[in-house]
Structure 1
Amino acid sequence: MKQPNNQFQTEPQNAVKGDGLLMVTSIFILLLFLVIALLMVTRKLPTILALPILAVGVAAIAGVPLIAVGKDGNDTGLLNFVVQGGATKLGVAYCAVILGAWLGQFMNQTGISKTIIKGAAELGGDRPFLVTILVTIAVSLLFTTIDGIGAVIMIATIAMPIMISVGVPALIGACMFIFAMAIGGIINMSNWAFYTTATGVQQSQVQAFAVTMAVLTAVVALIFAIVEFKRSGTKFAWAVQTNPGIPKGEFVKAPMLSLLTPLIPIVFVIGLKWPILPAFLMGLLWCFVTVWLFSPQKDLGKLLSLLTKSAFEGMTDSAPAVLLMIGIGMVLNSFMHPQVSQSISPFLKVIIPGNPVAYVLFFAILAPLALYRGPLNMWGLGSGVAAVIIGLKVLPAPAVFSAFLATERVQSIGDPTNTHNVWFANYVGTDVNKILLKVLPYIWSLAVVGLIIAAFMWF
């Protein structure tokens, strides 16, 4: 009679020990996560190094062996699955970033970017509010295709003097430029490639919510401009100066049809359902053909040289993003490894909400954790967190993606660690944290509205 009783008691005891071990492992993973986050926030460890360290550290804590070849012949060890598999996981996204940077550089080299910005300024005349709105629209259009700090500096050195010269306060102009980058960036094809690869969410679902957030961001940017113009006392109609400060120097307008270049990839992806990479190549072809056929100087050899030069400079521009994605891929594979997900699932199941109201409240309150490459930032530590939450199946995968994309608005516009935020702070002569404080009420509200829409879309 005692034997069955002993066996009956052993299983719960082993289960308790197992749960206890998992909880201890979860605590150590969380501690490592917090240490890495702290080092990133204090700028003692660059993100590009922090992510691979986090990926390897989490896998090691969970007990993932260096090499683990299963019966099916697949190696799910740390070296193969986390490091090598993670480094190549976002391959399509890498290619999209590189092609997008190539197209962006070619637009710069052929004068398309300058023509769009200066055309917007000329339409606005000497009316500061109208100039600001038109320049914001033009910059948004450009950043649907281009990316990188080099492109930011090149376009900002054209756009910022235009806005400042008609009476727009420098800090408001800088914030509007950053808003414009966020509007265009969220519908940039290379970012869509990253989101679909990183989360496994269908491209159509990514498009639907990304376009929604782009429209919301545009509305919030307009509200920001109206409120801040009134606060600063800036005139809505006529400024003191009557001559827009369009930078002087040698400038040849790009052909009219070539100005459609930023829209070409979007049209082919959304309208014709093309894959992202061929759509970028079509954008390059459109840009090349329209400039060649309609430019006053039809020098085919020179244009081919510009195309080649743009490819090399695009590689330089995209290198930081590609290296960052290598680390993100490692983090994704690390957190998606069965041993890691098993270790942290009990902890996450307790805190992740499962109904729409709790979903909105949870992510809305924690939205600032997207700052400083924090746990709600998919371009940092949040990539692994998103992967694990999706794996738990507590929430629909599109809802998880949408939550991180909504809170990403806080990071992309206000994060003091963004290189473009730092550059703009230096340009206008202020502290980078003042930009965050200026925009925080707007971008936090933007994230909350996005979460509410996501709840209606996916639950």
Structure 2
Amino acid sequence: MNSTVISILLLITFAIFIAYILKGGNLVIGFFVMAILWSVIGMVPFNTAVQKVFAEPALNYGPTIIYIVFGSWFGRVLVDSGIAPAISEATNKVGKKKPLLAAILVIIVTAFIFVSAYGVGSVIAIGVILLPILLSVGVPRDIALIAFSLAIGAPMYVNVVLYNQIKAFFPNAVYDASYLKFGWTAALVQLVVVILFLIIMRKKFDPSKAEENLQTIGASFGDVDSDQKKVPYIAYIVPVVPVAMNMIFGWDAIPSLVLSIIIAMLLTGNMKGYKKTVDFINNTVSQAISDISGLIIFLMALIMFSGAATLNAKHFEPLFNAILPHSHLVLALALGVLAPLALFRGPLHVWGAGAATAAVLSGTGLFTDAFLLPLLYVPTLMAVSTDITQSWNVWGLDYMKVQSKDFLKYGVPVMWAVSIINELLVYAFFG
């Protein structure tokens, strides 16, 4: 079977896979089946497939799983120690008399927390605190949810846990000062656009409907003002400690996260006595692992498919050479314009059908990993921010009683603009 026939068959299965995802198919099963299909269609020798598709990718992904575990643990510590709720409550008090200011503060606090926190568990824990605050100052439910979700997506450019997940596709990329200059700039762009979105939508704010909206989601003004654990103001800096340690001292994420966890426990009184320390560690670790158990299995299936896609990259080289612009600027602009293709786990979402796009692009060797990682990170983060298949967005739609079409109506145009701007930044920093 020649390379042309193989590449056509691979593309056909890829199209079927996208259709399967769009119909709500299980991603773990989908990626695992695709790994097998691409190994068979690509005529990968049996022993090579066993080793290079199913064994080595999963084993080599071990360090990334450790990053995810520690990141999830840190997120849980921020919540259970009272730091995240205290920051949220302080925001509520500061902005109570000025609805727009309160909404902007909530968005900034959300982004601040998720610089290092990660996982659907952390999002839910923070969301049930911050979303009622937005409603209590008169922000409509749909606008509140969109702003909150986009504010979570903004700091994901520098969130070391998510970065290490996408790095699986681009192993030569490095989370260093060079990348962080881009990451912080891109995060700031998204955050500023979200704030502009709130300013534009401020005429829709209606404090008279606050109680009605709170009752719709099962909350009340009393819930918003409920007593929080008292923590010292110095503890408010803990969410940025991991990134700061990397930027200032070049520390790896693991020691940075561990140090941050210890600081959080010390500052909030959770290390007073041996038993209290052990109980707090056991409870937060147990919950953190539970939060990411499904994610880990999903990533294992994804990385196996990535292994199969990498082995088949040679079949796509003539096609990519023919259709891909060799200009960094043109490619960056193209992905900005086509960014909505990342929605619904589409071909530009690396944790969806875009896993093949990422693996094949990396395998062709036409561009460096340092350029490709942020290039595909931008549309992927559009999906993370506003896709209704993203786990915490699914929770948000249910919790806030918002229709999918209303969420997409505002979220997609805002994130599309952000994606085009940030793809131009990718070219400016790495082109």
Q: Which moved more, 1:154-163 or 1:380-389?
A: 380-389
1:288 counterpart residue number: 265
After TM superposition, list the pairs within 5 Å mapping 1:172-211 onto structure 2: 172-200=143-171, 201-204=173-176, 205-211=178-184
Displacement, 1:381?
2.5
* Distance (Å, rounded) in 2 between the aligned partners of 1:417 and 1:351: 30
* Distance (Å, rounded) in 1 between the aligned partners of 2:314 and 2:155: 38
The AA in structure 2 aligned to 1:22 is S
2:294 counterpart residue number: 320
1:368 aligns with 2:349: no
1:83 counterpart residue number: 54
1:226 counterpart residue number: 199
Which stretches in structure 1 are left out of the alignment for 5+ residues? 1-17, 68-76
Displacement, 1:22?
0.8
Q: Which moved more, 1:413-422 or 1:33-42?
A: 413-422
1:63 aligns with 2:43: yes
Give the conservation status (yes or no) of the 8 Å contact 2:232–2:268. yes
Give the conservation status (yes or no) of the 8 Å contact 1:415–1:421. yes
Displacement, 1:99?
0.5
Displacement, 1:241?
7.8
Give the conservation status (yes or no) of the 8 Å contact 2:344–2:387. yes
Which stretches in structure 2 are left out of the alignment for 5+ residues? 212-219
Displacement, 1:141?
1.6
Give the conservation status (yes or no) of the 8 Å contact 1:97–1:321. no
One of 310, 319, 333 as aligned partner of 1:347: 319
Q: Encode CA deviations 1:212-263: one digit per residue, 9 max, x unaligned.
A: 2211111111111111223x2x37xx88989976525453212323222211
1:394 aligns with 2:366: yes
After TM superposition, list the pairs within 5 Å mapping 1:162-173 onto structure 2: 162-173=133-144
The AA in structure 2 aligned to 1:387 is A
TM-score by length of 2: 0.91
Q: Encode CA deviations 1:327-372: one digit per residue, 9 max, x unaligned.
A: 22112211222xx122122222222211134213421332111111
Displacement, 1:133?
0.9
Give the conservation status (yes or no) of the 8 Å contact 1:192–1:206. no
Give the conservation status (yes or no) of the 8 Å contact 2:340–2:416. yes
1:305 aligns with 2:279: yes
Q: Which runs of 4+ in 1 moved over 4 A?
A: 238-246
CA RMSD of aligned residues (A): 2.2
* Distance (Å, rounded) in 2 between the aligned partners of 1:192 and 1:291: 29
* Distance (Å, rounded) in 2 between the aligned partners of 1:134 and 1:99: 28
Displacement, 1:49?
1.9
Give the conservation status (yes or no) of the 8 Å contact 2:28–2:297. yes
Inter-CA distance 408–52: structure 2 relative to 1 (3 Å threshold): same
Percent of aligned pairs with the same amino acid: 22
1:102 aligns with 2:82: no
After TM superposition, list the pairs within 5 Å mapping 1:7-156 onto structure 2: 21-43=2-24, 45-67=25-47, 77-156=48-127
The AA in structure 2 aligned to 1:271 is I
With a CA cutoff of 8 Å and minimum separation of 6, indicate the structure with the bigger relative contact order.
2
* Distance (Å, rounded) in 2 between the aligned partners of 1:54 and 1:433: 30
* Distance (Å, rounded) in 2 between the aligned partners of 1:356 and 1:198: 19
Give the conservation status (yes or no) of the 8 Å contact 1:196–1:203. no
* Distance (Å, rounded) in 2 between the aligned partners of 1:89 and 1:27: 30
Give the conservation status (yes or no) of the 8 Å contact 2:80–2:284. yes
SS of residue in 1 equivalent to 2:169 = helix
SS of residue in 1 equivalent to 2:224 = coil
* Distance (Å, rounded) in 2 between the aligned partners of 1:328 and 1:263: 30
SS of residue in 2 equivalent to 1:263 = helix
Aligned residues between the structures:
421
Give the conservation status (yes or no) of the 8 Å contact 1:364–1:451. yes
After TM superposition, list the pairs within 5 Å mapping 1:398-437 onto structure 2: 398-437=370-409
One of 225, 249, 252 as aligned partner of 1:275: 252
SS of residue in 1 equivalent to 2:167 = helix
After TM superposition, list the pairs within 5 Å mapping 1:239-278 onto structure 2: 247-278=224-255
SS of residue in 2 equivalent to 1:199 = coil
1:330 counterpart residue number: 304
TM-score by length of 1: 0.86
